[in-house]
Amino acid sequence: MSSKIQFLLAMVIFGTIGVFVRYIDLSSSEIALVRGFIGSLFLTAVLIIMKKKIPWTMVKVNAVVIVLSSIALSGNWIFFFEAIKHTTLSNATLTYYFAPVIVLILSPLLLKEKLSAKKIICIGVAMLGMLFIVGNGRVSTSGLNDLIGIGYGLLAAVFYASLMILNKFIKNMDGLEKTVLQLGTATVLLVPYVFFTEGFGILEVSSASIPFILILGIGHTGVGFLLFFSGMQKLKGQSMAALSYADPITSLVISVMILQEQTTFVQLLGGALLLGSTFVSENKSITLRKRLKPVS
């Protein structure tokens, strides 16, 4: 299987998460806990089969950042799952994809990266798109619930942006090793949080939810991340950036065509502006002014 197909399959798998989450009768933090637990077990087994070892010396060096990134991962999942429960899958996904814009805004301060004119324009267009998505809520109980869901989606985006930034500070560890450690650490951190906030309800999960939990843990987390890291090894950054949009597009198609959720033209326009601006900002071949060599 080619690297592009592996990466594309991973994105499509990630794009279907929302459908399965809705059929799990647990709270968002409980879903995050079981997802992290099952996913970390699956990927640990993959590491053992591949005869790869966790570089514990580097774990000690990166310990603080790994813990902080695990907290960011937990918050990212919890608020994204909460967004899915309150609003349409398209709204939740589009607001969640505001994360790259947050990274762009913070990159000069935290990553010492310069903001080019192109990136500043992309940030402005993305914010306009987000206004279209948020500002189109109806003044009703349903509309209020949508706005709450969008708020949760934006919080998920903040945690996801934090995760992306923190991962840049983890040194000398590959993606699969980092993910196993982050999933395991997130699971450990979520255990006391879930039991103090939700009690022991997780032990009384309905039998109807179990297949969806297993699919979320093994399919979306274990297989999804395995395909993701296998595919990205031979892909260039721009190829990954382009293929990654299969994730939100899959969610949008499912939301509109399969779940038949109501999405207005203004919200779709806002989504197009948001996703389009992030794509342009990540594509180095697109510039404000392209210089051509004179033909001799």
Indicate the average pLDDT of the chain. Answer: 85
- Identify the CA nearest to 267 among candidates 144, 89, 86, 136: 136
Q: Where are the alpha helices (H) located in the chain, listed in sequence order?
A: 3-15, 17-21, 28-49, 56-61, 63-86, 89-96, 99-110, 117-134, 141-167, 175-198, 210-214, 224-232, 237-243, 246-253, 265-282
CA 271 – CA 265 distance, rounded (Å)? 10
Q: State the pLDDT confidence band at 288, using cuts at 50, 70 and 90.
A: low
Domain ranges of the chain: 3-282
What share of the chain in percent tops pLDDT 90?
41
Distance between start and end Cα atoms, the chain: 44
**48-76 residue pLDDT tens:** 998 888 888 999 999 999 999 999 999 99
**171-228 residue pLDDT tens:** 888 888 899 999 999 999 999 999 988 887 787 888 999 999 999 999 999 999 999 9
73, two tokens: 């991962």
**pTM, full prediction:** 0.86
What value does the CA radius of gyration of the chain take, rounded to a whole number of Å?
A: 20
Helix axes 3-15, 224-232, angle to 10 degrees: 150
What's the confidence (pLDDT) of residue 292?
A: 38
3-class secondary structure, 5: helix
**109-146 residue pLDDT tens:** 877 777 788 888 888 888 888 888 876 644 444 567 88
